[in-house]
A and B are shown apart, each in its own frame.
Chain A
Amino acid sequence: MTAVAGAARRLTAFFRARPLARLFAVLGAPLTWLVVVYLGSLALLVASAFFKLDEFTGKSNGQLTFSNISAVVTKSAYRSLMLRSVLIAAAVTVLCLVIALPVAFYISRLASRWTKRGLIVAMLLPLWSGYLVKVYALRAMFEPGSEFGSGGFLKSVVGWSPGFGYVAVIFTLTYLWFPYMLLPVYAGLERLPNSLLDASSDLGAGSARTFWSVIMPMLIPSIAAGSIFTFALSLGDYITVKVVGGTAQMIGNIIERVLLAPNQPLAAAFTLWPVGIMLVYLAAMARLGAFKNL
């Protein structure tokens, strides 16, 4: 007993005198995980983009080449595919924002206490169900019907459905990632003191002016934080496109197909597109203050 206690005391004394050892004891394991597993695999991915593929074996023969990179950068079909993916991710982000703003405003400023709680739970509830469940639920919604079967919810109840395609993809991704936009925007509004809105009104501003001059500038960091989720998750998605996209294609689909071809080096080269775009996007959002409230 005393021996154990004595050892513990000696250990405490050891760490007390050595701040570096202390830091390593606390952060060593998680940092190793981050560096080896996360950054390490990313580095491997980048490296593998430079390997040459043996046409017959489907495996790398160890030779280095720039041809993969130059293919994904120079071919106009790939470029327009990338642009389309970015536009879809941007459309999803804008839609999420346009819906989240009034909803978050209502929850944070107007709803009574119990309505508020109910609405927050309702908004978060979809996060607790599986991704595929939601995507297939929406497939049932958009099913355009054919001579062999009746249509989905929209077709049979509303009488019209956009069918499978880009509209369905954008709508489904918006539905999937909406809570990730709502939460930061709601938190941002909660942080906004009521007296600022009173002050704006007191100084003669109507609701529109208060919204653009006071609420929006103060919400920008929250919106930027939310948009990182909606944009990144949309940009990398390929399952939604497969389920409700019909013939639609996003960058994720190409990567998957090339990977299964199998052509790992070319697939890796493709991924450099979204990785690069996300780095630029994160830098831009950081400038808007997305990480200020972490």
Chain B
Amino acid sequence: MTLEGVSKSYGAVTALHSVDLSMKAGEFFSILGPSGSGKTTVLRLIAGFELSDSGRVFIDQKDVTAKAPFERDVNTVFQDYALFPHMTVQQNVEYGLMVKKVGKVERAAGARAMLDVVRLGGFGDRKPGQLSGGQRQRVALARALVNKPKVLLLDEPLGALDLKLREEMQVELKAIQQRVGITFVYVTHDQGEALSMSDRVAVFNEGCIEQVGTPREIYEKPETSFVAQFVGTNNIFTADRAKALFGDALKATGSMVAIRPEQIRLSKTGMANGMSVRVIAVQYLGADTRIHVSVDKQTTVIGIGASEEYKGMLVGEDVWLTLNN
């Protein structure tokens, strides 16, 4: 799967600026970005729902730039699932096979096997309206996978689910992907989702790729301040400013320095080479607590640590800040 210099605009709005992207076979590839960053446009261009203004799209070395969606060996799981409400679950999953004129017995068996894969074995006779959000999601997945596409596109498929179900589905999606061995292209605005499931992540901003890399590379070595900010709620400073604030405690190269919240350590007891800061906000997150402190009038730093350790820190208190490298 390769995109070469793909651009797309809607009227005066440019959604994509000459994007180059390539994915390996069998890879779980995430496209991460805020809304309006062009990530869904990339997906629609790969699927063929939109045609690019310039550039080319290759699937399995074949140029499909001008091909219609039904001529591409790609299937999509839609954000709203897009299940056909007048068909049963079984008919929904069989649809792609029926269109390809697969025999009745064979396609019924194929659909049933795929429903088993997504753990919806006994649900074939129901209508989509009788299923819960998570079940519809899995039907949509089965309906796409039963066609054995080269690439499966997923457009924020977990967006409509509650947190608990979303976490379960993340694990399940990854397991299914490894079992079927199909390339997954997963669009999301949730950095946690992208980091936890992907082999590689592309971070998009304003129609351009900011960085492509493994989740670890993206999180630990962000190449741009946007990536640092979007992926890790990071504290970003110019090199000079960082030097002035934290002195030599910071081993940094390059013009910008990003400090991840978990690198910040706060303590009520004075510490050598510590810096006195004032707590301005405390967010209790369960296992962790996030604390915003002001270093000076202009600068706020966000730190995160175990709630156990940070309990008793109050807004307005002066505490000591040190850096973990």
Contacts and interface: CB of A to CB of B under 8 A. Distances in A.
Interface in B54-100: 68-70, 74-76, 78-80, 82-86, 95-96, 99-100
A8 B95 CA distance: 63
B143 A203 contact: yes
A201 B82 contact: no
Contact of B99 (A193, A196, A204): A204
Pick the most buried of A195, A196, A199, A201: most chain B CB atoms within 10 A of its CB.
A199
Contacts of B83: 199
B59 to A, nearest CB: 13
Contact of A195 (B74, B78, B143): B78
A141 B129 CA distance: 51
Contacts of A218: 85-86
A214 interface: yes
Chain B CB count within 10 A is highest, among A196, A204, A205, A209, for A204
B69 A201 contact: yes
Contact of B82 (A198, A205, A206, A217): A198
A209 B99 contact: yes
**Candidate in A196, A201, A203 with the most chain B CB atoms within 10 angstroms:** A203
Interface residues of B, number: 24
A193 B79 CA distance: 12
A214 B87 CA distance: 9
A195 B99 contact: no
Interface in A181-210: 193, 195-196, 198-206, 209
Interface string A253-282: 000000000000000000000000000000
B246 interface: no
Nearest to B149: A202
Contact of A204 (B79, B80, B84, B147): B147
Contacts of B96: 203-204
A201 B78 contact: no
B76 A204 contact: no
B284 interface: no
Interface in B81-126: 82-86, 95-96, 99-100
Nearest to B78: A195
A289 to B, nearest CB: 10
Contact of A199 (B48, B74, B78, B86): B78
Nearest to A205: B99
A193 B147 contact: no
Given A214-B84, A218-B86, A204 B78 contact: no
A195 B100 CA distance: 20
Nearest to B86: A217
Contacts of B100: 204
Contacts of A213: 95
A181 B15 CA distance: 39
A202 B86 contact: no
A27 B69 CA distance: 54
Nearest to A209: B99
Contacts of B99: 203-205, 209
B16 to A, nearest CB: 19
A24 B80 CA distance: 44
Contacts of A201: 48-49, 68-70
Interface of A: 193, 195-196, 198-206, 209, 213-214, 217-218
15 contacts: A196-B84, A198-B69, A199-B76, A199-B84, A200-B84, A200-B95, A202-B69, A202-B70, A203-B75, A203-B147, A205-B70, A205-B95, A209-B99, A213-B95, A217-B86
Interface of B: 47-49, 68-70, 74-76, 78-80, 82-86, 95-96, 99-100, 143-144, 147
Given A195-B82, A204-B99, A218-B85, 20 more contacts: A196-B82, A198-B47, A198-B49, A199-B83, A199-B84, A201-B48, A201-B49, A201-B70, A202-B48, A202-B70, A202-B74, A202-B76, A202-B144, A204-B70, A204-B147, A205-B99, A206-B70, A213-B95, A214-B84, A217-B86
